[in-house]
Amino acid sequence: MKRLIALMAGIGAACIGVGLVRQHRRVVTVAPELRSPRLYVPVSLRNDTILRLGRKAMTVPVPVAAGVEVRTEHVPATDRGPAVRTLVYERPGRQQPSGALLWIHGGGLVMGTPEVGNGVCSRFAAELGIVVVSVDYRLAPEHPFPAALDDCFAALTWMRDRADALGIDPSRIVVGGDSAGGGLAACLVQMAHDRGGPDICFQLLQYPMLDDRTALRADHDALVWSNTSNRYAWGAYLGHPVSQLEARPYASAARRDDLGGLPPAWIGVGSIDLFHDECITYVDRLRAAGVTCELHVVPGMYHAAEIFSPAVPSMVELLDRMTAALGAATSS
């Protein structure tokens, strides 16, 4: 992600003037400890050229926590798609059967690999003694909806069916993800509910990308992940420009009418994240439908700020809260 911002900043540097003035106004809303010079340069994913640069930047793997083993396993092909590569994280000698997490990486539905989540996935495995499976799902625009979701559902089904071999308790499987991965996780939970399984005990959503209609808001923009990027990414994923009309189930988590019966959730988001409003609305709707949902809003946090400032206390607290919520869900 750091390389992505640097590459996109180089392109965005040509767009000074009015864009920089607007960017400065946004930067002053950032919590002082999270401010950085890189935030002053407008960056947006707006065309295929920038997408190629972004994809290159997001291929750099993040270090794995000490004491955690990582291996590659492949989910067999199904009638809905090809074999799916996954990374499996676990701590040697963990107590079995343990809880498990299916993690779905971010990247706006158009970028990223499981390796970008090495840090958080290996932390969960190390601290909680669980198995974490991260999915290398197909990306848009080459593979629009529902390809990514089909890959995630195949991985979830594979985890349940191989619970004994993986040493996990199928009643303690959590689905989670960050950003676009969080949005896919929310849709996957809905799909599993409607299909009668696999059972999911909890959903862990880190600043999730839940509502394509946010891209239609002319009055709404943010740092790092802008609404220009959001509009491009949703259009690539949906296979058409974003509009008020999108009737396909599971294309966008927030479009679902009935949220009743879904598993408990934890949602964390920054107060100035582009996705803040859609996250708050989703939390309110989950609670209104009788679903237990814990919300953590970080004041002055922009999208994915913990990647750039991991040692800042508010970012440490964010990841600590995520870990605690996951631990409670997988230990019960």
Confidence of residue 124 (pLDDT cuts 50, 70, 90): very high
Confidence of residue 17 (pLDDT cuts 50, 70, 90): low
Angle between helices 147-161 and 180-194 (to 10 degrees): 60
pLDDT at position 15: 43
Structure tokens at 88: 């499996």
Q: Is the pLDDT of residue 301 over 90?
A: yes
Place of tokens 């019960």: 332
Confidence of residue 18 (pLDDT cuts 50, 70, 90): low
Average pLDDT over residues 325-330: 98
The least confident of 58-62, 261-265, 284-288, 324-328 is 58-62
Q: What percent of the chain has pLDDT over 70?
A: 94
Which of 98, 179, 226, 252 is an active site residue? Answer: 179
In the chain, domain spans: 65-331
Q: Which option is the CATH number for 65-331: 3.40.50.1820, 3.30.70.270, 3.10.129.10, 3.20.20.80?
A: 3.40.50.1820
| Contact call for residues 46 and 14 (beta carbons, < 8 A) | no
Q: pLDDT tens across 234-287, in order?
A: 999 999 999 999 999 999 999 999 999 999 999 999 999 999 999 999 999 999
Q: Is the pLDDT of residue 6 over 80?
A: no
Q: Is the pLDDT of residue 13 over 80?
A: no
Annotated active-site residue 179? The verdict is yes
pLDDT at position 2: 56
| Contact call for residues 330 and 174 (beta carbons, < 8 A) | yes
How far apart are the C-alpha atoms of 326 and 259, rounded to whole Å?
21
Which of 105, 143, 193, 303 is an active site residue? Answer: 303
Q: What average pLDDT does the structure give for the chain?
A: 94
Confidence of residue 4 (pLDDT cuts 50, 70, 90): low
The three-state secondary structure class of 201 is coil
Confidence of residue 14 (pLDDT cuts 50, 70, 90): very low
How far apart are the C-alpha atoms of 182 and 278, rounded to whole Å?
12
Which residues are CB-neighbours of 153 under 8 A, at least 6 positions away?
80, 188, 191, 192
Which of 151, 229, 273, 276 is an active site residue? Answer: 273
Compute φ and ψ for 115, nearest 5 degrees. Answer: -60, -25
DSSP string, 141-186: TTS-TTHHHHHHHHHHHHHHHTHHHHTEEEEEEEEEEETHHHHHHH
Annotated active-site residue 240? The verdict is no
The least confident of 42-56, 270-284, 285-299 is 42-56
How many CA atoms are closer than 13 Å to the CA of 45, on its beta-carbon side? 28
Q: Is the pLDDT of residue 305 over 90?
A: yes
Q: Is the pLDDT of residue 11 over 50?
A: no
Annotated active-site residue 271? The verdict is no
Q: pLDDT tens across 171-219, in order?
A: 999 999 999 999 999 999 999 999 999 999 999 999 999 999 999 999 9
| Contact call for residues 104 and 185 (beta carbons, < 8 A) | yes
